[in-house]
Amino acid sequence: MANPVEQFKIQPLVPLEVGGVNLSFTNSALFMVVSIVLVTAFLTLSVRGRALVPGRWQSMAEIFYEFVANMIRDNVGYEGRKYFPFIFSLFMFVLFGNLLGMIPYTFTYTSHIIVTFGLAVVVFVGVTIIGFARHGVGYLRMFFPHGAPLATAVILVPIELISYCSRPFSLAIRLFANMTVGHIILKVMAGFVVALGVFGIVPMAFLAGVTILEFGIAVLQAYVFAILSCIYLHDAIHMH
């Protein structure tokens, strides 16, 4: 039975070292490129016809577009339109990464915490910059709840500050943990199927259920990642 965490191993495909920094083109990078190519091809080819009455592919592309557009309109409001390209790219990148990982023998790049943390930090830093750009120093008021007695600021401000700083961590850990745990469960279950012989039919049935659940989680986590980014953006733009 193969090691269940072996699937997450990063292997350099094209070894490359620049100035002592390992910049190898790994299988993780390969699948990021694959997903970007797939997303770009899917979106450009499907709307190439520019039909007024959309065909099947164009409908799919339009569904994604409308889904994200509605999400931004509901959670950020009218001012959020500017940030649509960013949220849309983020959503598609995470979604395709999660879904590509469900294909056997592929690599799930969202199952590495450094990838999800990188994405989360981009959101976090971007949102903080937007907040300061829109409100100036007044953005710092966010760290002190309205109406609380001034004396409590000593405790409340650090707490709110930590709460604010924990956002990228919880965002990253959520996506990473969901994907990693799901893939490990799949692998362990598949190992049971092989190991139990005829009785493997029982874990096999379970495995089928878990696979469907995993597809659901793959889509749900991409949605959660995007919607939480929207909520943070809303906070930065409106300050409640």
Partner 1 sequence: MTDESREPRPLDDLDARLRAARGQRESETRRETAGRSSTGMGLGFRIATELVAGIAVGTLIGYALDGWLGSRPWFMVVFLFLGAAAGTMNVYRAAKGLDDSVGLGEAQRRKERDRTNDS
Per residue, the 3-state secondary structure of 103-140, as one string, reads CCCCCCHHHCHHHHHHHHHHHHHHHHHHHHHHHHHHHH
Question: Contact 226/87 with Cβ under 8 angstroms?
Answer: yes
Q: Smallest distance, Å, CB 145 to partner 1?
A: 4
Residue span binding partner 1 (CB under 8 A) among the ranges 2-10, 97-105, 142-150, 188-196: 142-150
Interface residue with partner 1 among 48, 114, 163, 199 (CB under 8 A) is 163
Close Cβ partners of 72 (under 8 Å, ≥ 6 residues apart): 80, 81, 83, 84, 87, 230
Residue span binding partner 1 (CB under 8 A) among the ranges 37-45, 79-87, 146-154, 195-203: 146-154
Q: How many residues bind partner 1 (CB under 8 A)?
A: 34
Interface residue with partner 1 among 173, 184, 210, 219 (CB under 8 A) is 173
Question: Contact 120/168 with Cβ under 8 angstroms?
Answer: yes
**Of 215, 34, 185, residue with least CA distance to 107:** 34
Interface residue with partner 1 among 19, 20, 104, 147 (CB under 8 A) is 147
Judged by CB, which is closer to partner 1: 100, or 233?
A: 233
40-99 residues near partner 1, rule: CB under 8 A: 52, 70, 74-75
235 contributes a contact to partner 1 by CB under 8 A:
yes
* Counts of helices then strands in the chain (DSSP H, E): 6, 4
155 contributes a contact to partner 1 by CB under 8 A:
yes
Which token pair is 108? 């799930």
Q: Smallest distance, Å, CB 5 to partner 1?
A: 20
